[in-house]
Amino acid sequence: MGKQGRYKPQPTAPEKERVILVGVSTEKDRLMGSAWTLEESLAELARLVETDGAQVVGRLTQNVPTPFAKTFIGSGKVDELLGLVERLEAQVVVFDDELTPSQQANLSKCLGKSVKVIDRTALILDIFAVHATAQAGRLQVQLAQLQYMYPRLRGMWSHFAKEQTRGGIGSRFGQGESQLEVDRRLVRKRIAKVKQDLETLNRRRAVQAKARLASGVWRVALAGYTNAGKSTLLNALTGAEVYAKDELFATLDPTTRSCELSEGRKITLTDTVGFIQKLPTTLIEAFKSTLLEVQNADLILLVADAHDKQVAAQIEAVSKVLQQINADQIPYIVVFNKIDLLIDDELADLQARYPDAVYISAQERRGLDTLSYRISQAATQGEALITVLIPYDKTALVHMVRQQAQIIREDYQQQGFMATIRISQKLLELLEPFMLENPS
């Protein structure tokens, strides 16, 4: 036998936190026939946990008429959860629905100080904090985190409140309440500062958006459920190299790239933050400036994962968010991505249910010509085909025509620049004085 080493090698990678998921099915969910079953919603929550770098080791579910006011789940289930935490040596418990500050504090008290109790909202905020890279994205996540944390500060100082009820030395000074007020003041101040910084960025974005609007370039926004392949589609259509990965919320910061359609029209494509069911209201509010990219679009490509069993529910979830940000009146095309993962019968069934949609595989570049054609069709709606003769001294107008119009035919006449063009209604008024009724 050879000599054994004196020192045993130790792993250097940090151990993944062990997580238990908790889901509740209410009578309201059952009566309304929720598009997501409890199992499906927990499966998505598990993916969120994995995206955040932790490991799911157990699940606990309960059917109730309504959530319990004190601990969200019943007292018997709380005891069962405690036993599960101890048996599986879990460090984190994640609830699939948003907890009130008091529910979170009560659950933490029942499960012990060593166990973190969080909800879906906190988990999504944590993922966003890791994935936001641009300044605006980081500020937006920070604002949402602060707004989420503010009403939960009292629970953090509950141990001081216990001390005060005992009386005796130190109880007269109300140290817990004082610290709570200090923390609240600090958080309020930080929220105000982040809002101010965001407002500065928003003004800058508004100027940039105004410039894009004035350019007349047609704007297309990619919206869809997280991990539907929006970034991959942006890369396929524009040749960009935007970060794309098979995980939830791989990209958060909006990215705009330009491309040219087959008939020569220039458009911009903007990839936006992915949506998800039960998207926290705080995030929708915080990301409003990012979502303006969707609101200001001429066309929305609603990208869906054709291979996902919950694709119909995902489309519904995205539609709800578009309604919340007042973008549901913008024309849209449903784009089913990842058709390379479907068998023929599955694709045929999907096409029968959504006959007006476009079916693509961004990864394999299938169906992109059809999608470009549909974008072109949408862009030409409401446009006019005219012939203009613009004097040579109107160089700015000639430049505008070249930038904003689709030129069918052009010629340089003695009197000026003559062209047959297809142009939007908003630019028609500018060119009306130079229109030729019967061009020769």
Mean of pLDDT values over 245-263: 66
Confidence band, pLDDT 50/70/90 cuts, at residue 33: low
155 labelled binding-site residue: no
246 labelled binding-site residue: no
Burial status of residue 341 (CB atoms within 10 A of its CB: 0-12, 13-18, 19 or more): middle
Mean of pLDDT values over 333-360: 95
**Segment of 131-135, 276-280, 420-424 carrying the highest mean pLDDT:** 420-424
Positive or negative, the CA dihedral 239, 241, 244, 249 is: negative
Q: What CATH class is the domain 216-379?
A: alpha beta
Going by C-alpha positions, the residue among 192, 184, 106, 96 that lies closest to residue 143 is 192
252 labelled binding-site residue: yes
What does the block give as tokens for 242?
């935007």
273 labelled binding-site residue: yes
271 labelled binding-site residue: yes
Between 330 and 167, the higher pLDDT residue: 330
**In the prediction, which pLDDT does 6 show?**
60
361 labelled binding-site residue: yes
Assessment of whether the complete model's pTM goes beyond 0.75: no
369 labelled binding-site residue: no
**In the prediction, which pLDDT does 421 show?**
87
pLDDT above 90 for 366: yes
Which residues lie across from 275 on neighbouring strands? 225
| Lowest mean per-residue pLDDT among 14-28, 270-284, 378-392 | 270-284
376 labelled binding-site residue: no
339 labelled binding-site residue: yes
Architecture of domain 383-436: 2-Layer Sandwich (3.30)
224 labelled binding-site residue: yes
225 labelled binding-site residue: yes
What's the mean per-residue pLDDT of the chain?
81
**In the prediction, which pLDDT does 167 show?**
41
Question: Within a 10 A sphere around the Cβ of 76, how many other Cβ atoms?
Answer: 9
**Segment of 34-38, 127-131, 321-325, 329-333 carrying the highest mean pLDDT:** 329-333
Q: What are the residue ranges spanned by the domains of the chain?
A: 18-130, 216-379, 383-436
Euclidean distance between CA atoms 190 and 69, whole angstroms? 31
**In the prediction, which pLDDT does 55 show?**
93
Architecture of domain 18-130: 3-Layer(aba) Sandwich (3.40)
272 labelled binding-site residue: yes
What does the block give as tokens for 186?
């600090």
23 labelled binding-site residue: no
338 labelled binding-site residue: yes
CA distances from 233 to 246, 273, 285, 379, 426 (A): 13, 14, 27, 19, 29
Between 17 and 131, the higher pLDDT residue: 17
Mean of pLDDT values over 229-240: 86
**330 and 323 Cβ atoms separated by less than 8 Å:** no
pLDDT above 70 for 94: yes
16 labelled binding-site residue: no
381 labelled binding-site residue: no
Answer whether 18-130 and 216-379 agree in fold: yes
What would the pLDDT profile of 166-213 be if each residue is shown by its tens digit?
443 333 334 444 566 767 788 888 889 988 888 887 777 666 666 655
249 labelled binding-site residue: yes
| Lowest mean per-residue pLDDT among 16-20, 42-46, 260-264, 273-277 | 260-264
What would the pLDDT profile of 109-166 be if each residue is shown by its tens digit?
999 888 999 999 888 888 888 777 777 778 888 888 888 888 887 654 443 344 344 4
Written in H, E and C, the secondary structure of the chain is CCCCCCCCCCCCCCCCCEEEEEEEEEHHHHHHCCCCCHHHHHHHHHHHHHHCCCEEEEEEEEEECCCECCCECCHHHHHHHHHHHHHHCCCEEEECCCCCHHHHHHHHHHHCCCCEEEEHHHHHHHHHHHHCCCHHHHHHHHHHHHHHHHHHHHHHCHHHHHHHHHCCCCHHHCHHHHHHHHHHHHHHHHHHHHHHHHHHHHHHHHHHHHHHHHHCCEEEEEEEECCCCHHHHHHHHHCCCCCCCCCCCCCCCCEEEEEECCCCCEEEEEECCCECCCCCHHHHHHCHHHHHHHHCCCEEEEEEECCCCCHHHHHHHHHHHHHHCCCCCCCEEEEEECHHHCCHHHHHHHHHHCCCCEECECCCCECHHHHHHHHHHHHHCCCEEEEEEECCCCHHHHHHHHHHCEEEEEEECCCCEEEEEEECHHHHHHHHHHECCCCC
- Helices 175-215, 158-166: axis angle to 10 degrees equals 160
| Lowest mean per-residue pLDDT among 14-28, 89-103, 238-252 | 238-252
362 labelled binding-site residue: yes
Euclidean distance between CA atoms 397 and 415, whole angstroms? 15
**In the prediction, which pLDDT does 84 show?**
95
